Amino acid sequence: QHLVPFLELPDRRLHPLADDLDALASPRLLATHMPLSLLAARVGALGCRVVYMCREPKDVLVSYWHFASKVHADFSMDMAFELFCDGVSSYGPIWDHNLGYWRQSMTEPRRILFLKYEDMMADPTSHVKMLAEFLRVPFSDDEVRRGVVEEVVDLCSFDKLKSLPVNSSGVSDRFVGVPIQNSSYFRTGRVGDWATHFTQEMAEKLDAIVEEKFRGSGLRF
């Protein structure tokens, strides 16, 4: 997050690095968890490109719970599950979050690239090429022949990033007063990990909610 600053953190009122976001040279690469409805209107007006990565909702919940429980030790999976099903989370209901970017990507496919984590993990090479083309920096034919795409995939792989000392050790205080181990940001990255945490009843309940919310949108997992 030092290389790709996070819009929500640090808090612009509290953190001395906040001004650095404004000082970054264009084109800037920024990260955010915010729903489309909370992005500044000028994001669209200026033609800023948006890459949106979504994930199967059950896996989203499991990942969120593992992280949140490090901040709030008494935050149980049962509590997290009920809140999630009620649409209560840090950035609003997950279905609204997904649908906001999904619908806008249908309207502006050249400005918003909608990706699914599961698809990317299944075929990372194609997704790296797709991303490069979307950002208007496509790989040359020579780079493709020399295996540069595969090199990028390897450098950006979950296991490679997780093993880097900056990610596997040390502590960061991104929440101002709540220090968290850097290793907490890289757990397993595994698709379908929800199956080790959910009962059948829990899975069926959340699946039914998501199916109802997505009905007619064309979006599905």
> What percent of the chain clears pLDDT 90, i.e. is strictly above it?
63
Q: What pLDDT sits at residue 175? A: 61
Query: Which regions of the chain does DSSP assign to beta strands (E)?
Result: 50-54, 112-116, 171-172, 180-181
- In angstroms, the CA 211 to CA 57 distance is 11
Q: What pLDDT sits at residue 183? A: 80
Q: What pLDDT sits at residue 212? A: 97
Residue 14 has pLDDT above 50, yes or no: no
Q: Which CATH superfamily is domain 52-93+116-214 in?
A: P-loop containing nucleotide triphosphate hydrolases (3.40.50.300)
Residue 10 has pLDDT above 90, yes or no: no
Query: Cβ of 131: how many Cβ atoms within 10 Å?
Result: 16
Whole-angstrom CA distances from 42 to 2, 47, 92, 161, 209 are 24, 8, 22, 33, 33
Torsion angle of the four alpha carbons 188, 193, 199, 203, in this order, in degrees rounded to the nearest 10: 130
Tell me the per-residue pLDDT of 61-78, one tens digit each, with 9 for 90 and over. 999 999 888 878 889 999
Residue 20 has pLDDT above 70, yes or no: no
Model confidence band, residue 204 (pLDDT cutoffs 50, 70, 90): very high
- In angstroms, the CA 140 to CA 142 distance is 5
> What percent of the chain clears pLDDT 70, i.e. is strictly above it?
91
Whole-angstrom CA distances from 160 to 67, 106, 180 are 20, 33, 21
**Mean pLDDT of the region 6-31:** 70
Q: What pLDDT sits at residue 11? A: 57
Q: Are 43 and 50 in contact (CB under 8 A)?
A: yes
State the burial class of residue 184 (Cβ atoms within 10 Å of its Cβ: 0-12, 13-18, 19+). middle
Tell me the per-residue pLDDT of 93-145, one tens digit each, with 9 for 90 and over. 999 999 999 999 999 999 999 999 999 999 999 999 999 999 999 999 999 99
Picking from 3-17, 102-116, 161-175, which range would have the lowest pLDDT averaged per residue?
Answer: 3-17
Q: What pLDDT sits at residue 17? A: 53
Q: What pLDDT sits at residue 41? A: 84
Catalytic residues: 33
Average pLDDT, the chain: 89
Tokens 């948006």 locate to 50
